[in-house]
Structure formats: structure tokens, C-alpha cells
Amino acid sequence: GLRDTLSTALTTMGLMGGAFIFIDTGEDDTVDILNKTSKSGEIKRSLRFQVIDPIFTTPQGFNASDPLAEDFYKPSVFFIMGKTVHRSRLIRFVENEVPDLLKPSYNFFGIPQSQLLSDYVTHFRKNREEVNTLLHKFSTSFIKTNLKTQLFQGQSWGPVSDRVKFFAKYRDNQGVGLLDKEAEDFVQVNTPITGLTDIVRQSLEFVVSVNQSGVVKTLGYTPNGFSSGESDVKLQADLIATRQEKILRKPIEEILKLLQLHLFGDIDQTLTF
């Protein structure tokens, strides 16, 4: 079940900025450092991996006074819903690290991918809604008539309102518009809608590009300026490989060593992937 466990950890990291995988050996006392050598008896007896949502974790304390120390802004012990757990029993997943000064604000994890996407998603939704609103009223009709008494003499707008309602009642593709021959005129103003599709499409592509998920895979069409989607697919594959090396290699290496200790009692350094 490690594939599902890692997938859950990565999803939680994207939503919350980070995640822990708890190395569960069945021991109740988790405050001590986990022995990850061939002399470790608890790893040989039992081994299970469990994803911990960062909302349930908080550091017991951290060194914020000595930047030259190895544990500077790196908590060694965490509280997980009141239970004390040593850092060696947790496998940390973080992609978007923050400067040390901001780490307490982010609970010693990173910036969530969802937070990076939030601004672009908001802009896309706003653009889409504005275009829908514009399409609803892109054409505006004007009746040129005498409004002197209403504008300057304080007369009632009732007759004007009735006139507009009367005009709108009979004016459609199957009706007839009626205007006074001498005192009225009719004008229709249309708002240009050319380019609105490109604006909405580009704002959606910004969301995809920031997420590095690929236009072809995510949206199902070829991005503008490309004759085919092959370049986009290749770029996405390269980005995935880079993120795998950045995020997954160290956790997987540690998990494989723990599995060897549990199954065989020793670590074979020649085993790799």
C-alpha cells in the first residue's frame, strides 16, 4: 500500500503545504530517537506507514537563536494531537519551502500549492463571470426622445417608463418597433466581444502553467502557439521527473531502507532504483 500512502502524502502536501508519514513500529513511547540500523529491534518486529495531516501537528520547541547550529529552525520533537513524537519517526514532505523567518507561520511546512493557485483561479472565475455578464447585455438600445420636463422641470418619469415598456413589449424579432416620426429616434450600441474567448482561455492556462500540470493533459487541447501537444507533454514529463527527484527520492530511499531492516534485518547498500 505504499503507492497509495505516498499519493495521499503528496495530495495532502499540495493542499496543506506539507505532510508527515509516521513510521509506526507499534511502540507506545515515540519520544525517543528511532534506531534505523541493523540493531533496531522495534523495526524488525513491526512496521507500518501512516500519513499525518499537518493540521494535527505542532512542534514542541525549536532553536531560533543559533543560525550556525544544525537544528536551527528544525524542530526535533512534535506533538501529534498531544502525543510526543521524535522527528526521526516522521518522514517530511514539503515542496515549496519558505524562509526560516516564516516557518513558524506555516507550522514548519511550506506554501500550499493550493495557495499559489488561489489568485489565478480567482482571476479565471472573475473573467468567466464577467464575460457571461457581458454576453448577457452586450447590445444596448437607446430611444432618443424629449426628456426636458423630466430632467429639468421635475416632472414624473411615469410616462417615460410606460413608453419604454410599450416599446420593449412589441420589439423583438417577430414584432414591430414603434417610434414617433417627428420626436423620437432609435439607436443600438453593440459592445465588441472579439478576443473575450482568448482572455478567458489564457486566464485558465495561467492556472495550469503555475500548477505545472500541462495544458494538453489537464484541459485536453493544444496550447496556443504549438502545432501539436507533443512539446507540452514532454515538458510536463520533464517537470514531473524533476519534482520526483526533489520531493520523493529521499523519502523513498528512507522507506526502502526501513523495509529492508524489517524484512531482512540489514541494509544492502547495492539495492537501488
- Please give the single-letter amino acid code of residue 36: K
List residues bridging with 92 in a β-sheet: 20
Map grid coordinates 479565471 to a residue: 124
Q: What is the pTM of this model?
A: 0.73
What are 92's three cell numbers? 517530511
Q: Quick one: pLDDT band at residue 227, thresholds 50, 70, 90?
A: low
Q: Could you tell me if 95 and 113 are in contact, meaning their C-beta atoms sit under 8 angstroms apart?
A: yes
38-88 tens-digit pLDDT: 888 889 999 999 999 999 999 999 999 999 999 999 999 999 998 999 999
Q: Quick one: pLDDT band at residue 216, thresholds 50, 70, 90?
A: confident
**What is the rounded distance in angstroms from the CA atom of residue 48 to the CA atom of residue 259?**
10
Q: Quick one: pLDDT band at residue 167, thresholds 50, 70, 90?
A: confident
Q: What is the pLDDT of residue 89?
A: 95
- The phi, psi pair for 70, rounded to 5°, reads -70, -30
Q: Quick one: pLDDT band at residue 21, thresholds 50, 70, 90?
A: very high
* Residue (of 99, 60, 94) closest to 77 by Cα position: 60
- DSSP letter assigned to residue 48: E
**What is the rounded distance in angstroms from the CA atom of residue 120 to the CA atom of residue 209?**
10
49-63 tens-digit pLDDT: 999 999 999 999 999
List residues bridging with 48 in a β-sheet: 24
Q: How many CB atoms lie within 10 A of CB 72?
A: 13
**What is the rounded distance in angstroms from the CA atom of residue 90 to the CA atom of residue 163?**
75
Range picked from 10-14, 137-141, 190-194, 238-242 for highest mean pLDDT: 10-14
